[in-house]
Structure 1
Amino acid sequence: MARPILMPQVGQDLTEGKVTAILVKVGDKVKKGDIVAEVESEKAVFEVECFETGTIIDIAYKVGDMAVVLEPLMMVGEEGEVYEKAAAQAPAVAPPAVVEVAAPAVLATKSVPAQVEALAPATALAVGGGSSPLARRLAVQAGIDITSVAGSGPRGAVVKRDIEAFQKNAPKGSVLAFTGASRGVAAKAGDSVIKSLQAGTGDPVLFIHGFGSELSSWRPFVSQLGIANTVLAVDLPAHGAAATGSAGDFDAIVQSVRSAMAAEGLERVHLVGHSLGAAVAAAIAGGGDLDVRSLTLIAPAGLGPRINGDFVSGFLSSSSEPALKAWLDLLVADPAKLPGVLVRATLSAREAGPVVENQARLAAGVFAGCTQLFSVREALARYEGPARIIVGQQDRIVPADHAEAAPAQVAVNRLPGVGHLPQLEAAPLVGRLVAQTIRSAG
């Protein structure tokens, strides 16, 4: 069975990297620990390590291409296996260009105006070392002519810090003025942070991740949706871009996300959540004060009392790759479907600040041993819009039978042979189900 070698995310704000070397070819045998490619970010060149053993059966990029983080660089399978990209993986609608905004920069929730979009192809300065992909993207979203920014990167390249410094110190009139393309939000340290994963039209879709994850985990899934809507994602307190903060209980988590939504003017929105994030989505939808167009809950917490407390404590206490992998394997029915790069990415995220301490503080406020300290059953019952629950029947974190508590008006899809990560284990199917729920809102 084909397994991916993903483009790693080696920094919180890294969204893509340039492929500078492909060290294998289709048909080559590889094993765990082999270096298969080199990728260049704005800061360094780093090696891509193989976490699988088998034969290279597909290479998605060539040298010089820009690879998107957490998307497959290549596929590993069995000798003689032919890899065919499933038609179901291709979006029915060609996805608009991804727009990434690193807080506290401006957030694009509408399509970028033509006069600003025209700046996007500027890949090099007239004099100097060009600009990084992230710097170019931030410049487009902020309405900055990147040719007017002095670079401090290698060979004078414009990098992220240069754009940020320009925004802070730019004289009046040096930034293009436009309306409706972005909103400036200065988030406080530790607050939930919203970023854009796809520019589009219509009512935005907001994704909310689960405990121990971060918003970038949704990136590979977005291509499964085949929708033209703007797609946003939020980092919960103690996670991702909000890793420096925490929350004392479930209500505080919900309030943090609601505050981030209010700061972005998100009053009419589709909500999609996973696990703890699904419970947050249900609580917001059931509040009745926002126009939540549709609600999709994937492996939701908050519908019953049980939680795998051993997983939570084991996940938080693991400080090595083998130990962490032993616990992360519980997330999926088939451990072979868990990309090895996710283990390293999780450990890497813990190296920057008190991530584990803040997540442990948050966990203590929502879980007690094997018990969930909150419920969203009543909130879900109050929600009258299109709603769907998707659960894996082999979920070893939140029991699948908790979905039996769902109100009669909520559709429930039970997926055999799937664990706690349906959006990873059955991505094409789950993508179709999420898109159907969104489209059913009209």
Structure 2
Amino acid sequence: MKRVTLWPEDRLPEHGVPPPWPGREVRLDGTVTYVRETPATAPGAEPALYVHGLGGSSQNWTDLAGLLAARLDGQAIDLPGFGRSEPGARYTVPAFADRVVRWIEHSGRGPVHLFGNSLGGAISVRVAALRPDLVRTLTLISPALPFLDFRRSVQGRMLPLLALPRAERLAARQLARIAPEVMAQQVMEACVADLTRICEQRRREALEEIRVRYQAEHYASAYVRTFRGLVSSFLRSYLPGSDSLWRLARKVRAPTLVIGGRQDRLVDVRVAPQAARVIPDSRLLMLDGVGHVAQLEVPRLVARAVFGLLAETGEGARRHDLAG
């Protein structure tokens, strides 16, 4: 494990609060995937792909993608069943990873700098391990890699729901009873350690995202089935077999940045350090007073760490080219 290099704060773009980046619907393998574009602001930018977490969307990357646009030509996708993408047939980590691979191949932009938050982190680990040809660097923010003590997650209270028949219908009825404003506040409280860091514009956007979810009949089913698939992947990771996410993490060869928040309420705070220990070429940044979505809560600090990774790996690549 290497030390994180933090890019100087004064070399970041001026602080701003951009609106969500424009998006478009793309038909891929018979269903619609929604993609947001963060165009590069300087020549020579390299392609990047951002993958959100459970219950999130491509909007979760607005600030970070904007800060990185001088180096990265960004795309952020809505996973099947989330955001504005159509529902999928399966809601498992392998199925989502297959969709990410298909998108990179379809877009013709690989290899990409791949970013994943929470569930998106687990998906990105699988992609980087099985398709190293598609990944330049890997950035994991609070990756939802396996842990067994669900008392360390506020989502642990949902586990009994997974065992019930028609859990999706129960979840849909429960969702309908909660006002969108209340749900948006609950989501932010679960994901963010210090709510004063979230500006009013981002709060309004989060509320609008919740309203979009309420209008999607498939959302409750997608959420419950995805959570069930994630828990299943956790359990399989502690059994023999090559499909373990921890075993796959050991196969990752891309230069990797792992970021964790010490006040994460959704993923066991010990997961990020363990991921950095397991992934061979890794760097770890643990953030005091930060929760589950560091790219939303402290985007400038995350951007400094990413720029540090890009500078380090870019210089290494240039030295390799000169040596060749």
**Which deviations, in whole Å up to 9, do the C-alpha atoms of 1:45-70 show, x marking residues without a partner?**
xxxxxxxxxxxxxxxxxxxxxxxxxx
- Whether 1:340 aligns to 2:190 is no
2:38/2:66 contact within 8 Å kept:
no
1:238/1:246 contact within 8 Å kept:
no
1:302/1:372 contact within 8 Å kept:
no
The answer for the alignment partner of 1:385 in structure 2 is: 254
SS in 1 for 2:263: coil
CA distance in 2, matches of 1:330, 1:423: 15
Distance verdict in 2 for CA 1:334–1:361, change over 3 Å: same
The answer for the alignment partner of 2:135 in structure 1 is: 292
- Whether 1:404 aligns to 2:267 is no
**Which deviations, in whole Å up to 9, do the C-alpha atoms of 1:281-318 show, x marking residues without a partner?**
11111114424111110010114335522476899744
Deviates more, 1:387-396 or 1:257-266: 257-266
The amino acid of 1:402's aligned partner reads: V
**Which deviations, in whole Å up to 9, do the C-alpha atoms of 1:239-268 show, x marking residues without a partner?**
123243352321111111111211112331
Q: What's the offset of the Cα at 1:277?
A: 0.5
Distance verdict in 2 for CA 1:392–1:88, change over 3 Å: farther
CA distance in 2, matches of 1:231, 1:286: 21
Map 1:293-442 onto structure 2 (within 5 A). 293-306=136-149, 308=153, 309-310=155-156, 317-318=174-175, 319-320=178-179, 321-338=181-198, 339-350=202-213, 351-367=215-231, 375-406=244-275, 407=278, 409-442=281-314
1:224/1:432 contact within 8 Å kept:
no
Q: What's the offset of the Cα at 1:280?
A: 1.0
2:113/2:138 contact within 8 Å kept:
yes
The amino acid of 1:336's aligned partner reads: T
SS in 2 for 1:390: strand
**Which deviations, in whole Å up to 9, do the C-alpha atoms of 1:111-156 show, x marking residues without a partner?**
xxxxxxxxxxxxxxxxxxxxxxxxxxxxxxxxxxxxxxxxxxxxxx
CA distance in 2, matches of 1:306, 1:195: 35
Q: Tell me, which stretches of 5 or more residues in structure 2 are unaligned? A: 1-8, 15-19, 162-170, 238-243, 315-324
Q: What's the offset of the Cα at 1:397?
A: 0.4
Map 1:213-224 onto structure 2 (within 5 A). 213-224=56-67
SS in 1 for 2:143: coil
Map 1:28-427 onto structure 2 (within 5 A). 90-91=12-13, 100-104=22-26, 186-188=27-29, 190=31, 192-199=33-40, 201-225=44-68, 227-245=70-88, 247-306=90-149, 308=153, 309-310=155-156, 317-318=174-175, 319-320=178-179, 321-338=181-198, 339-350=202-213, 351-367=215-231, 375-406=244-275, 407=278, 409-427=281-299
The amino acid of 1:237's aligned partner reads: P
Q: What's the offset of the Cα at 1:439?
A: 3.2
Count residues with an aligned counterpart: 270
Distance verdict in 2 for CA 1:393–1:372, change over 3 Å: farther
RMSD value over aligned CA atoms?
A: 3.1
Distance verdict in 2 for CA 1:89–1:246, change over 3 Å: farther
The amino acid of 2:130's aligned partner reads: G
Q: Which has the higher contact order (CA 8 A, sep 6+)?
A: 2
2:190/2:265 contact within 8 Å kept:
yes
Distance verdict in 2 for CA 1:202–1:253, change over 3 Å: same
Q: What's the offset of the Cα at 1:331?
A: 0.8
SS in 2 for 1:211: coil
Q: What's the offset of the Cα at 1:323?
A: 4.3
SS in 2 for 1:418: coil
**TM-score normalised to structure 2 length:** 0.73
1:271/1:281 contact within 8 Å kept:
yes
Q: Among the aligned pairs, what percent are the same residue?
A: 25
**Which deviations, in whole Å up to 9, do the C-alpha atoms of 1:402-421 show, x marking residues without a partner?**
12322253111100011101
**Which deviations, in whole Å up to 9, do the C-alpha atoms of 1:85-107 show, x marking residues without a partner?**
xx759528xxxxx9844123xxx
CA distance in 2, matches of 1:235, 1:102: 11
Distance verdict in 2 for CA 1:101–1:347, change over 3 Å: closer
CA distance in 2, matches of 1:233, 1:389: 19
Larger-Rg structure: 1
**Which deviations, in whole Å up to 9, do the C-alpha atoms of 1:300-357 show, x marking residues without a partner?**
0114335522476899744312245234302111233344324412321121342222
Deviates more, 1:428-437 or 1:300-309: 300-309
**Which deviations, in whole Å up to 9, do the C-alpha atoms of 1:344-374 show, x marking residues without a partner?**
1232112134222222222222226x96665
**TM-score normalised to structure 1 length:** 0.55
The amino acid of 1:377's aligned partner reads: W
